[in-house]
Amino acid sequence: MRIIIGIVGQIASGKGILVKYLVKKLGFVSFSPISIVHAELREKGTKEFTRQTLQDMGDELRQGYGDDVLARRLNEVIKGQKKDRVVIEGIRNPGEIEFLKKKPGFILIGVKAKHELRFKRLLSRDKEWDPKNYNDFIKVDKRDLGIGQEKSGQQVRKCLAYCDYALTNNKDVIDFEKKIKKLMSNNQ
């Protein structure tokens, strides 16, 4: 039976660490709804991606084609995979979860971390599109969580309420990987 693990979490909470663990240690293959957004932007001729252009396009797609559009399109890509272990990183809207919950073997894991720690991590990872000061981080984080957003927008806070499991990542990578290992050993 195919296992599909969805990952939702706040910015810089540790979603990537969880995905990396699942891929490297447990043989999962990774997909992300953002790949659908990237493809759409490229099709429209966008050459430079920012967090805002990606979020705006994701919102536009959901408004035009339904809140589950990214999950539906990603599902078409996943169908062609021969692997029975799939992880989907970066779910941002409850419509995506509602679609995926209909799939046998779907599990949703949430990743949370303290605000200040996430900001420190964000600065240290130094991604080009990440905010460089705390006030800008707060603005980006609020949008991502769904504060002031339409139903079809970014809704990470609402998505976290759907989780089958939640992991906190308030220490170091070693501690977080221990939590992941324990969770996965209990669900194999």
8 A C-beta contact, residue 10 and residue 110 = no
**Boundaries of domain holding 45:** 3-182
8 A C-beta contact, residue 18 and residue 72 = no
Question: Residue 147: which pLDDT band, with cuts at 50, 70 and 90?
Answer: very high
Give pLDDT, residue 188: 62
Question: Residue 187: which pLDDT band, with cuts at 50, 70 and 90?
Answer: confident
107 vs 82, residue with greater confidence? 107
Give pLDDT, residue 126: 80
DSSP 128: T
Confirm whether 188 is domain-assigned: no
Confirm whether 113 is domain-assigned: yes
Tokens of 84: 């029975």
Sequence-ordered list of residues with C-beta below 8 angstroms from that of 110, at least 6 positions apart, any chain: 7, 8, 9, 159, 160, 163, 165, 166, 167
Which of the residue ranges 42-51, 52-61, 84-93, 150-159 would you say has the lowest mean pLDDT?
42-51
Would you say residue 26 has pLDDT above 90?
A: yes
Average pLDDT, whole number, for the chain?
94
Question: What percent of the chain stands above pLDDT 70?
Answer: 99
Would you say residue 31 has pLDDT above 80?
A: yes
Q: Between vectors from CA 118 to CA 117 and to CA 122, what angle results, nearest 5°?
A: 120
What pTM was computed for the model? 0.94
Confirm whether 85 is domain-assigned: yes
Confirm whether 187 is domain-assigned: no
Confirm whether 51 is domain-assigned: yes
Question: Residue 83: which pLDDT band, with cuts at 50, 70 and 90?
Answer: confident
**Kind of pairing between the strands at 3-9 and 85-89:** parallel
Tokens of 183: 């969770």
CATH of the domain at 138: 3.40.50.300
- The whole-angstrom separation of Cα 166 and Cα 107 is 11
Confirm whether 84 is domain-assigned: yes
Confirm whether 148 is domain-assigned: yes
Would you say residue 129 has pLDDT above 90?
A: no
Give pLDDT, residue 101: 96
Confirm whether 64 is domain-assigned: yes
Question: What number is the average pLDDT over the span 102-122?
Answer: 95
Question: What percent of the chain stands above pLDDT 90?
Answer: 86
Would you say residue 36 has pLDDT above 70?
A: yes
Question: Which stretches within the chain are classed as H helix?
Answer: 15-26, 33-43, 51-65, 69-79, 94-101, 115-125, 134-145, 156-160, 173-186
The length of the chain is 188
Q: 125-143 burial, b for 16+ CB within 10 Å, e for fewer?
A: eeeeebbeeeeebeebbeb
With tokens 């139903």, the residue in question is 151
171 vs 130, residue with greater confidence? 171
Give pLDDT, residue 74: 94
Distances 113 to 14, 55, 143 between C-alpha atoms, Å: 8, 22, 17
Number of folded domains that form the chain:
1
149 sits in the region (left: phi over 0; alpha: psi -120 to 50; else beta) called beta
